[in-house]
Structure 1
Amino acid sequence: MAGNNALTAADEYQDLLLESPGFPEFLLGLATISASRLRTDGSTLECSITVERDGAPSTVACSSEEGHRLDETQYALDAGPCLTALRGQRTVLVNDFPGDERWGQYLEVIARDDVHSVLAVPIATAAASKAALNCYAHTMHAFDPGTVARIEDHAGSMSRILRLALRLHAPEVFPDGLRAALQSRALVDAAVSLVMLQTRGGRDDALDLLHVAATSSNRRIQEIAREIVDGGQLSAPPLGRQG
């Protein structure tokens, strides 16, 4: 392995591409490498990488389950710093979420996860695709100008290998029914996160409340979820009292 840091990173990326059985696994490796390389002073940093191409469902890979949940919530709400960075191809920095008024309910959701700073940086890819690196921190003002520049450089170092991976791995073809199912699942996940915020309860209880609301009103759970994501409040009998 070469001693130069840039060459070491390139070798690591190439090994990852050669060893990954598919594109999602490759992205997961990139996200994990990013979290490891960018973490400083023992601080907790979650990283995710999102790729959109040719109208296919987005591929999201995260270094932690928490990061995955936060990214999925962005996509269900169709709003958030990562989406803004990816679609606008510009760096987006949020150093204090309680003081930021962008992206509406997404800020309420991630406040529950004690996330206070986010940095989203685009990764240059081919014309038919877009990608971004998203970094979550649990402290305010976690990304000073030097840290932002370092993360932008890191995102730039991944551009070449990501473009190669996109050429080697064709996008998956999803039947319309499966595509709709994936979107529906993301919507319900976002609603569950919002119910958790409203009730200060756990995930299982929030999902149970959605099921109770759907059953008591004789409606689909996706309809209830859409209302919650659009700003409504959950209306359902307390658990243990329904029926």
Structure 2
Amino acid sequence: MASGPASTSTADHLQDLLLESRDFDSFLLDLTLYSASQLGADEPILCAISVERAGAPFTVASSGDKARLLDERQYELDDGPCLTALRTGLTVKVDDLSLDERWTRYFETVRHSAVNAVLAVPIDAGEGASAALNCYAHRTSAFGPATVAGIEWYAQSLSRPLRLALLVHPLLDAPTYPDGLRAALRSRATIDAALALVMAHTRSSREAAIALLAEAARARKVRLPALALDIVRGAAIPAGSA
């Protein structure tokens, strides 16, 4: 995987996934399926995306049940290559899980899976969250230097769409938030996500995107949060005056 036109195409496709997905869950499912198809070389690999908030890790999506279960065994042990990458912000590569002395307990719990190589790459998930792209392969030494470099670049390209998706994730339903505050936070998160999409689409500044959304809301006689929600759900982005 290289930079240049191919990387631009990938970034465009990731933005299209976010714009076209029905909801957060379907976006993340599409994202992991696309990741597995893009990153697999001579043989298929399994992909999952882990996110940790407030010390609680969870798999937000996986390319299949097997990848999800491989993640979840690490959560049960509170240790493993993917959790290490997520918490340290460093890439973790395991060429042969059966010989790696760092995670012998984890290997014992997943021995039956026939997965032998693991690559976990951190993703910048924004303030208050950590994330990692987890790749599993059946063949030992499946992740050579060129493959690792490509997957690290790809993980960087996942940061923006994942951060946008997390902005509108309904995690604000936690009972610790009063109803009024919860609604206000969700509205602000939705507007921020819509602004980011407008900025990416029009290549404009945040101030210009705010003005564009405000003008469009007035023209359509709708409130700004309602317009922002429509955009996040895939409605056409308003055209600028310039």
Partner of 1:66: 66
TM-score normalised to structure 1 length: 0.66
Segments of structure 1 that go 5 or more residues without pairing to the other structure are 177-243
Partner of 1:145: 145
* SS of aligned partner of 1:79: coil
* SS of aligned partner of 1:98: coil
1:83 maps to 2:83: yes
Partner of 1:25: 26
Render the CA deviation track for 1:54-87: whole Å, top value 9, x for unaligned: 4566243110111111111111121111101001
Segments of structure 2 that go 5 or more residues without pairing to the other structure are 177-242
Partner of 1:205: none
* Partners of 1:54 and 1:16 in 2: CA distance: 27
Q: Which amino acid aligns with 2:168?
A: L
Q: Which amino acid aligns with 2:45?
A: L
Render the CA deviation track for 1:119-163: whole Å, top value 9, x for unaligned: 000011212111100000001100111111111011011111112
Q: CA RMSD in A?
A: 2.0
Taking structure 1 as reference, are residues 57 and 49 closer, same or farther at Cα in structure 2, changes over 3 Å only?
closer
Taking structure 1 as reference, are residues 141 and 56 closer, same or farther at Cα in structure 2, changes over 3 Å only?
closer
Say if 2:48 and 2:59, in contact at 8 Å, map to a contact too: no
Paired-residue identity, %: 53
Partner of 2:39: 38
* Partners of 1:83 and 1:54 in 2: CA distance: 14
* Partners of 2:25 and 2:87 in 1: CA distance: 20
Taking structure 1 as reference, are residues 138 and 62 closer, same or farther at Cα in structure 2, changes over 3 Å only?
same
Measured after TM superposition, the shift of residue 7 of structure 1 is 2.3
Render the CA deviation track for 1:26-68: whole Å, top value 9, x for unaligned: 2222111110001112x02001011122456624311011111
Taking structure 1 as reference, are residues 22 and 57 closer, same or farther at Cα in structure 2, changes over 3 Å only?
farther
Partner of 1:134: 134
Partner of 2:212: none
Measured after TM superposition, the shift of residue 97 of structure 1 is 1.2
* SS of aligned partner of 2:52: strand
TM-score normalised to structure 2 length: 0.66
* SS of aligned partner of 1:120: strand
* Partners of 2:16 and 2:10 in 1: CA distance: 10
* Partners of 2:73 and 2:6 in 1: CA distance: 35
* Aligned positions, number: 173
Say if 2:59 and 2:71, in contact at 8 Å, map to a contact too: no
* Partners of 1:172 and 1:82 in 2: CA distance: 26
Render the CA deviation track for 1:177-220: whole Å, top value 9, x for unaligned: xxxxxxxxxxxxxxxxxxxxxxxxxxxxxxxxxxxxxxxxxxxx
Say if 2:21 and 2:27, in contact at 8 Å, map to a contact too: yes
Aligned ranges 1:146-225 → 2 under 5 Å:
146-171=146-171, 173=173
